[in-house]
């Protein structure tokens, strides 16, 4: 049985149940139970209409549960409300589920967990492993997220941007456990882009594809981080780059720029350079200007300082950096990089060691420590 | 089986024999050290003795309750002299002798010049479970 196909159907099926009047939490449970039956029964007896089958079984599971614990009156209302079985869902039902799982009343961590479960169709155990928390903790996080959504109306139009932000968080969780969250985020972004045709959904999908294309080059076999300029570009996936660039161009053609399109444009310019030395830094600076204008994000400003250093020389990069707060994450790392380009290796070495202490993850810390060690070794010789 | 915590310190442990800050090693020595640590954990997974391990960032602070309706009091980031834990590994082994043997191997991780660091590691026993069948 094709697990990906099965999981693609989940949001639509849950959406139909909620549209029919099931509480989201109960609908989601019922769909999970239907999936268990599908996994058990389909290899022997594959249904002609998998989606219709899932809707019918999930609805029956939901009614069974409602019979078990709801009042008699409530039950009769529900049975009366039951529409003809096998009725197909509209795209709207599916989309509403994306909105619901990214609802602004949820914390980002809850929205990520709920999206992975209710939209992505992952099991609680898979999500727990991927996010490195105990399964019981994740079960509780999901239960609380569902409780938060109790009473939220399902038919209110949502904001695509809230969903995009959640999918971007999922993408950046990367890979641990047996589920590849980056690939999962791409799958969901693809579905979202197809349903909404929103230019920023296309922008995010393009951004993810362009970053995913570099994955094989980003770490050595021993797990060491490889800086963009040092990556073996033959390891970049040309098919993903081609697809990402095409999607980005389609989005940009609509002339409604947003932050994900701007970020994807920067990624595309990196992808376009056959060797790091041929990178079009002047255009990259222009895109960072757009990104800063759109978001005001200090992180974008920090990255802009690096790009300015490449385009206009380290001195101007340092001047751009001087306008930012030294408390920003990665500030010391950027300062170290620019000071080395400016020829001050002793200062760069000290800053790299400081940056290693402030790193947000172990591969980054190890990489910065190696940079400090490299400079100190150069200074000794 | 008995569980032990192996604690590695940034500061606060007695000085190691080969006590040179990592940024003054060569890049290859840094790489060799990291690989040694990975291989060590991998080997304990293989022997069925590994439970958990985490590295801690050097930043941090003290926090305590300051009374009803008040925000907690904080002290830090830590002063230079503080005892500062760098990371831990939890192992589940036959006895204390095995825990000491493994900590000794971990302390031999290569450092500057490719020579063992001879770093002092703290080995702490967990309280055990109460036996189900007691006399």
B72 to chain A, closest Cα gap in Å: 22
Residues 6+ apart with CB under 8 A from B123: B4, B5, B6, B7, B96, B99, B100, B103
Determine contact: B114 vs chain A, CB below 8 A. Answer: no
Distances (CA, A) of A17 to A78, A83, A103, B16, B23: 11, 11, 18, 64, 59
Cβ count near B126 (within 10 Å): 12
How high is the ipTM of this complex? 0.88
3-state helix, strand, coil in chain A (%, to 5): 75, 0, 25
Helix (H) / strand (E) element for B84: namely strand B84-93
Given an 8 Å threshold on Cβ–Cβ distance, is B38 in contact with A223? yes
**DSSP per residue, A124-149:** HHHHHHHTTS-HHHHHHHHHHHHHHH
Q: Which of B23, B38, B57 sits opposite A372 (nearest CB)?
A: B23
Which tokens go with A311? 């385009």
Which tokens go with B123? 């080995």
Q: Write the pLDDT tens digit of every residue in A71-91.
A: 655 555 655 555 544 444 567
pLDDT at A104 exceeding the cut of 70:
yes
In this prediction, residue A290 has a pLDDT band, given cuts at 50, 70 and 90, of very high
Percentage of the residues of chain A whose pLDDT score is greater than 90: 66
Comparison of pLDDT for A152 and A47, the residue scoring more:
A47
- What pLDDT score does A84 carry? 47
| Residue A13 near residue A49 (C-beta atoms within 8 A) | no
pLDDT at A148 exceeding the cut of 60:
yes
| Residue B84 near residue B9 (C-beta atoms within 8 A) | yes
**SS3 for B63?**
strand
- Interface contacts A/B by beta carbons within 8 Å: 45
- What pLDDT score does A25 carry? 87
Q: Which of A222, A366, A376 sits opposite B24 (nearest CB)?
A: A376
Q: What is the mean pLDDT of residues A148-152?
A: 84
Given an 8 Å threshold on Cβ–Cβ distance, is A377 in contact with B26? yes
Given an 8 Å threshold on Cβ–Cβ distance, is A373 in contact with B24? yes
Helix (H) / strand (E) element for A109: namely helix A108-114
Helix (H) / strand (E) element for B52: namely strand B50-55
3-state SS track over A177-218: CCEEHHHHHHHHHHHHHHHHCCHHHHHHHHHHHHHHCCHHHH
Report the distance separating Cα A327 and Cα A338, nearest Å: 17
Report the distance separating Cα A208 and Cα A189, nearest Å: 9
- What pLDDT score does A74 carry? 59
Torsions phi, psi for B4 (to 5 deg): -135, 150
Q: Looking at mean pLDDT, say which of A174-183, A296-305, A356-365, B75-84 comes out highest.
A: A296-305
Given an 8 Å threshold on Cβ–Cβ distance, is A222 in contact with B58? no
**pLDDT tens, chain B, 135 aa long:** 899 999 999 988 999 999 999 999 999 999 999 999 999 999 999 999 999 999 999 888 899 999 999 999 998 887 766 788 999 999 999 999 999 999 999 999 999 999 999 999 999 999 988 777 766
Distances (CA, A) of A50 to A47, A56, A64, A88: 5, 10, 21, 11
- What pLDDT score does A88 carry? 46
Which tokens go with A337? 């990089």
Q: What is the mean pLDDT of residues A302-324?
A: 97
Q: What is the mean pLDDT of residues A130-134?
A: 90
Q: Which of B26, B57, B58 sits opposite A373 (nearest CB)?
A: B26
A77: left (phi over 0), alpha (psi -120 to 50) or beta: alpha
Chain A residues near any Cβ of chain B (below 8 Å): 222-224, 349, 352-353, 356-360, 362, 365-366, 369-370, 372-374, 376-377
Q: Write the pLDDT tens digit of every residue in B80-110.
A: 667 889 999 999 999 999 999 999 999 999 9
pLDDT at A231 exceeding the cut of 70:
yes
Q: Which residues are bridge partners to B88 per DSSP?
A: B7, B54
Find chain B residues with C-beta within 8 A of A353's C-beta: 21, 23
**SS3 for B74?**
strand
Kindly report the length of chain B: 135
Q: Write the pLDDT tens digit of every residue in A318-367.
A: 999 999 999 999 999 999 999 999 999 999 999 999 999 999 889 999 99
Report the distance separating Cα A332 and Cα A337, nearest Å: 9
- What pLDDT score does A223 carry? 83
Cβ count near A108 (within 10 Å): 11
Distances (CA, A) of A298 to A169, A291, A295: 18, 10, 9
- Between A105-114, A215-224, B92-101, the lowest mean confidence (pLDDT) is in A215-224
Comparison of pLDDT for A132 and B81, the residue scoring more:
A132
- What pLDDT score does A76 carry? 54
pLDDT at A267 exceeding the cut of 70:
yes
Comparison of pLDDT for B61 and A265, the residue scoring more:
A265
Given an 8 Å threshold on Cβ–Cβ distance, is B21 in contact with A353? yes
In this prediction, residue A4 has a pLDDT band, given cuts at 50, 70 and 90, of confident
Given an 8 Å threshold on Cβ–Cβ distance, is A370 in contact with B59? no
Counting Cα atoms < 13 Å in the Cβ hemisphere of A48 gives 1
Q: Which of B22, B35, B58 sits opposite A369 (nearest CB)?
A: B22
Find chain A residues with C-beta within 8 A of B27's C-beta: 370, 373-374, 377
Given an 8 Å threshold on Cβ–Cβ distance, is B22 in contact with A376? no
């Amino acid at each position: 049985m094709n697990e990906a196909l099965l999981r693609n159907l989940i949001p639509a099926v849950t959406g139909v149940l909620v549209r029919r009047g099931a509480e989201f939490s109960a609908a989601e449970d019922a769909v999970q139970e239907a999936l268990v039956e599908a996994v058990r029964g389909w290899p022997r007896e594959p249904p002609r209409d998998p989606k219709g089958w899932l809707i019918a079984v999930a609805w029956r599971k939901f009614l069974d549960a409602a019979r078990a614990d709801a009042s008699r009156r409530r039950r009769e209302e529900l049975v009366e409300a039951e529409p003809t079985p096998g009725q197909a869902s509209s795209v709207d039902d599916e989309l509403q589920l994306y909105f619901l799982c990214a609802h602004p009343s949820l914390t980002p961590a809850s929205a990520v967990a709920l999206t992975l479960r209710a939209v992505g169709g992952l099991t609680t155990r898979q999500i727990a492993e991927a996010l490195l928390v105990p399964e019981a903790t994740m079960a509780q996080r999901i239960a609380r997220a569902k409780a938060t959504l109790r009473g939220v109306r399902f038919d209110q139009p949502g904001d695509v941007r809230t969903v995009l932000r959640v999918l971007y968080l999922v993408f950046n969780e990367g890979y641990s456990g047996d589920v590849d969250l980056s690939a999962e985020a791409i799958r969901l972004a693809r579905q979202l882009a197809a349903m909404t045709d929103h230019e920023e959904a296309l922008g995010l999908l393009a951004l993810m594809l362009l970053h995913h294309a570099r994955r094989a080059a980003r770490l050595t076999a021993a797990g060491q981080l490889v800086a963009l300029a040092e990556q073996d570009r033959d390891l970049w996936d040309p098919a993903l780059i081609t697809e990402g660039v095409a999607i980005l161009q389609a989005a940009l053609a609509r002339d409604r720029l947003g932050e994900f399109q701007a970020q994807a444009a920067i990624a595309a310019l990196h992808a376009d350079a056959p060797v790091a030395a041929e990178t079009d830094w002047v255009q990259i600076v222009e895109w960072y200007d757009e990104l800063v204008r759109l978001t005001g994000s200090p992180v974008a400003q920090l990255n802009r300082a690096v790009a300015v250093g490449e385009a206009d020389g380290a001195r101007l990069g340092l001047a751009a950096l001087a306008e930012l707060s030294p408390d920003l994450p990665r500030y010391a790392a950027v300062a170290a990089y620019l000071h080395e380009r400016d020829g001050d290796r002793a200062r760069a070495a000290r800053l790299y060691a400081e940056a290693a202490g402030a790193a947000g993850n172990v591969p980054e810390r190890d990489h910065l420590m190696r940079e400090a060690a490299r400079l100190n070794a150069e200074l000794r010789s | 089986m008995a569980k032990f915590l192996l604690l590695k310190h940034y500061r606060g442990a007695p000085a190691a024999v080969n006590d040179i800050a990592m940024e003054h090693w060569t890049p290859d020595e840094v790489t060799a050290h990291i690989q040694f640590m990975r291989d060590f954990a991998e080997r304990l997974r293989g022997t069925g003795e590994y439970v958990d391990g985490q590295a801690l960032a050097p930043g941090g602070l003290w926090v305590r309750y300051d009374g009803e309706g008040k925000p907690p009091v904080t002290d830090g980031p830590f002063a230079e002299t503080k005892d500062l834990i760098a990371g831990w590994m939890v192992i589940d082994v036959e006895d204390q002798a095995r825990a000491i043997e493994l900590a000794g191997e971990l302390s031999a991780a290569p450092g500057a010049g490719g020579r063992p660091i001879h770093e002092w590691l703290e080995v702490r026993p967990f309280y055990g479970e109460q036996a189900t069948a007691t006399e």
